[in-house]
A = this chain, B = another copy of it.
Amino acid sequence: MARLPLAAAGVLRTQRIYEAIRSQIMSGALGAGAALPSTRSLAAEWGVSRTTVTAAFEQLIAEGYIETRHGARSRVAQGLERAPREPDMPAPRPEPATLSAFGRRVERFPAPPASGPEHLVADFRYGDLAAGDFPLRAWKKAVNVALARRLPRLRYGEANGLPELREALQGYLWRARGVRCEPDQIVVVNGSQQGLDLCARLLLDRGERAVMENPGYGLARQVFLAAGADVVPVGVDGEGMRTEGLPPARLAYVTPAHQFPLGSIMSIARRRALIAWAESAGAYIVEDDYDSEYRFDVSPIPPLHAMDGGRRVLYIGTVSKTLSPALRLGYVVVPDALAVAFAKAKRLTDRHTSTLEQEALATLIQTGAYERHVRRVRRRNGERRAQLLAALSAALGNRMTVAGADAGLHVVLWLNGVPRAREGEMVQLAQQAGAGVYPITPLYADAATLPRPEVAGLVLGYATLEPSVITQGVQAIRQALDAFCDLAAAGSRS
């Protein structure tokens, strides 16, 4: 390896810097023509004088590794196409991925659905919230309070969450949902998705059976499939997931307060049957209460968790539907016997959820600002919902059937005239007319041999849309439906 013709002092550093850059070039990490950082930024980064860096650069120039044009950044010499490589350096040909079984299952999952095209009149994408509904001032204040609260030191927090937040959540869950638990049964997670992932990892072994609603929440199904579970889809009707003839399983995933996506509310009888099934099967029930803050015509029904006292029910909640999906804050209420395993698993997973945001949410709940906000957005979304239902019946009348409008932030629109096989065409036509609408078919398990309406279904989220926009969006859907019928008629005539 070339040596520098210099002596003493800064030499050693210059030498090391020279070799660091040279070895990046030799290893191909620095391709021909690649720009080097400025001597200033390298000097600052490496904590040496610019002279030291410049000396190293001069040597590299002298040896033809890099070249420099006046004023411009130094670059790896153009002539130097993949310089002669040092003996034991690997060739940079790409390597095929060698993944675990989990990795191979995950890699095969479909890519997340692209959001609708830009410039839509109205995008009914489900899951988004209106930025205008975010309690900006209150959150800002809470974050700054948290920032200003100078802890004696910055340290890792408790894996299952800040004690203040778990206490605040304990009170909120009891007031809002009749869920009773100890703060140590609450695990603060990064949104309900992490809660689902922890449940799958801690409760399911490869090849074990999990039952879940069909149609159902796609990312829940993926989490259970990724864990290697045998996921059995169970039909859903107006009373929620069917409970007669449930097969034995290790786990059941349900959304009893507002079935996703169909929107039915699980009847008391089914709730009791499900709990009795879990008792006899020795199974756990994962109750995903993802949008229960939004109830319109209905009075609350106690969650499964309240009905079985949290013995076999794991209760998952989130602020993604009340504050923002971008925050990544949720919680799982677990049975006593599972609390230690969940806390230890959360610690291995990512230590704990961001302390700053946990503190901010705790402040919001403690001051009552969170519940005031929930009531406000419930009212706003109630107005959006009313507007949507009115616009739909005015524009489509008996050409459609709406399902699941009693609660939540979305409805399912069944288009009576459109055969299920042509759902995709309707989605296309609607987008062309300016309405972003999303097909229900992907929410059915591939394995689904279960009855479902023979007609096309659309999932319409409305939480981001203002009333006037909702009306225009529904008009666009109507145009699309008319266009579809014309095509169909033309087709049948020809």
Contacts and interface: CB of A to CB of B under 8 A. Distances in A.
Interface in A37-78: 37, 41-42, 44-48
Given A13-B299, A29-B306, A299-B13, A222 B326 contact: no
A154 interface: yes
A246 interface: no
A109 to B, nearest CB: 6
Contact of A311 (B95, B136, B328, B344): B95
A112 interface: yes
Interface stretch (A196-204, A392-400, A415-423): A196-204
Given A100-B201, A335-B97, A151 B131 contact: yes
A444 to B, nearest CB: 20
A159 B325 CA distance: 13
Interface string A296-319: 000111100111111110000000
Given A144-B140, A193-B351, A203-B99, A44 B312 contact: no
Contacts of A250: 98
Interface stretch (A256-264, A271-279, A446-454, A476-484): A271-279
Interface in A3-59: 12-13, 16-17, 20-21, 23-24, 27-31, 34, 37, 41-42, 44-48
Contacts of A231: none
A434 interface: no
A21 B300 CA distance: 10
Interface stretch (A86-94, A234-242, A425-433, A485-493): A86-94
A383 interface: no
A327 interface: yes
Contact of A348 (B88, B153, B222): B222
B136 A155 contact: no
B154 A311 contact: no
A28 to B, nearest CB: 5
B190 A350 contact: yes
A154 B129 contact: yes
Interface in A363-377: 371, 375
A337 to B, nearest CB: 4
Interface string A454-491: 00000000001000000000000000000000000000
B16 A205 contact: no
A464 B153 contact: yes
A127 interface: yes
A211 B189 CA distance: 30
Given A193-B350, A307-B23, A338 B97 contact: yes
Contacts of A97: 335, 337-338, 341
A307 B204 CA distance: 40
A282 interface: yes
B112 A159 contact: yes
B20 A178 contact: yes
A348 B98 contact: no
Nearest to A303: B29
A336 B94 contact: yes
B193 A349 contact: yes
A157 interface: yes
A121 interface: no
For the complex of A and B, the 6 pairs showing the least CB-CB separation, nearest first, are A16-B299, A326-B355, A97-B337, A190-B350, A103-B202, A194-B350
Interface of A: 12-13, 16-17, 20-21, 23-24, 27-31, 34, 37, 41-42, 44-48, 86, 88-90, 92, 94-103, 106-107, 109, 111-112, 115, 125, 127-132, 134, 136, 139-140, 143-144, 147-148, 150-157, 159, 174-176, 178-180, 189-191, 193-194, 197, 201-205, 208, 219, 222-223, 226, 250, 268, 272-273, 275-276, 279, 282, 284, 295, 299-302, 305-312, 324-328, 335-338, 340-341, 344-345, 347-357, 371, 375, 378, 464
Given A27-B307, A106-B202, 8 more contacts: A24-B306, A90-B279, A92-B309, A97-B341, A106-B348, A129-B154, A326-B355, A349-B349
